[in-house]
Amino acid sequence: MIMDELELIGQKAVAAKYEIQKLSTAQKDGALQIVADQLVADTEQILKGNEEDMERGRSKGMHPGMLDRLKLSAERIAAMAEGLRQLTKLPDPVGSVLDEFERPNGLRIKKISVPLGVIGIIYESRPNVTADAFGLCFKAGNAVILKGGSDAIASNKAIVSSIRTALTACGVVQDAVQLIESTDREVTARFMRMKQYVDVLIPRGGAGLIRAVVEGASIPVIETGTGNCHIYVDKEADLTKAIPIIINAKTQRIGVCNACESLILHRDIESTFLPALAKALREKQVEIRADQDAGAILGDGFVPATEEDFGKEYLDYIISIKTVSDVSEAIAHINHYNTGHSDAILTENQKTAQLFLDQVDSACVYVNASTRFTDGYEFGFGAEIGISTQKLHARGPMGLKELNSYKYQIIGNGQIRG
């Protein structure tokens, strides 16, 4: 019976995508405004569902970082609504002319941006993804099927119910967004093989989820990656800037993929910089896992770093520290251990900064700024569908443009091929 329901969801999504593609930009923007208002109006109902999820999470001993991802508040719901409103201010990517040219035989060829179609999103305990995913997919002309984690099921049901109510009120097909409510793993496995209905699959979550989708799906996947993000403090860094940047990147929110997990220090500034940094980290209750050189300066109060520490996404108040002799060694360390997400250098040397920008193999590479800015909203994209760490089609924060493909339109006047 559940599998029959899954088939029906797929069929409804295919029908809905063609209806959505007929909508004008004004119609889509108007619907997004109404959905945003409805989410705020339904705050009490959404928070009630979220508290069910939070209570279940606490009773299961869920990690504080995961509880932070799961938790909603009136302010977070208002932010979800604001993300949808911001989308209405962004250009509609559908129908953009990407290229246009004429062949010697008179054929006129246009490369036009078009929706992907039906997008499937599999994600874990972040209910804000539910609204973000709908808004981005809808503005970009797509239908979306959502498969959230069991940890956030009550929150997701409430949010999707609110969105569908608003769509119905403004005369838009409510199957623009559908939620798979079953938490059965076999249902998820079947969903990942529904190639006849779903055009693209996007996983959002931890390494285990992403690996399971990449390995188990027959649908094309846009891989969103985990974030073992690094900050390298060069010998020519402005150390007055460095500590606030590192503290922000590590502690502003611990349960996010763009938080700094690994710190690299140039050996020349280690003895002068590390004591002050360690004091600031300990004030934030951050555990330090340091290599031998850094440990010699820290004395007591640190944990010796293992090989595993240098490649780990902690999502916790823990940071690893590695000592290097120059920027090339820092780059080599990052390219070996990073996840291709976000990495930063702190330096006042422009040549060193450019070398870092050119050679670090990540979706987002920073100079003198926190890695926490790897975010669709911060990049001006509105809400984001995820941070892609792959290199085909999309990379980095994925906004509206990344949720479109393209097609060629060819206009002739009787040409035949000889």
Domain 229-373, classified CATH 3.40.309.10, yes or no: yes
Q: What is the residue-wise DSSP string for 370-407?
A: -GGG-STTTTTSSS-S-EE-SSSS--EE--TGGGEEEE
Q: pTM of the predicted model, to two decimals?
A: 0.81
164 burial (CB, 10 Å; 0-12 / 13-18 / 19+) is buried
* Cβ pair 233, 219 in contact under 8 A: no
Domain range annotation of the chain: 2-224+398-411, 229-373
Please name the residue that has the structure tokens 């990540």. Answer: 362
Tell me, what's the pLDDT at 382? 65
Tell me, what's the pLDDT at 209? 85
Among residues 123, 119, 129, which one has the least CA distance to residue 160? 129
List the chain pLDDT tens, one digit each, 418 residues.
466 899 999 999 999 999 999 999 999 999 999 999 999 999 999 999 999 999 999 999 988 878 888 999 999 999 999 989 989 999 999 999 999 999 999 999 999 999 999 999 998 878 988 999 999 999 999 999 999 989 999 999 999 999 999 999 999 999 999 999 998 889 999 999 999 999 999 998 777 888 899 899 999 998 887 889 999 999 999 999 999 999 999 999 888 889 999 999 999 999 999 999 999 999 999 999 999 999 999 988 789 999 999 999 998 999 999 999 999 999 999 999 999 999 999 999 999 999 999 999 999 999 999 999 998 778 877 667 888 887 777 888 888 999 999 999 999 999 999 8
Query: Mutual orientation of helices 350-359 and 327-337 as an angle, nearest 10°?
Result: 20
| Region class of 316: left (phi > 0), else alpha (psi between -120 and 50), else beta | beta
By percentage, how much of the chain surpasses pLDDT 70?
A: 99
* Cβ pair 143, 17 in contact under 8 A: yes
The topology (CATH level 3) of 2-224+398-411 is Aldehyde Dehydrogenase; Chain A, domain 1 (3.40.605)
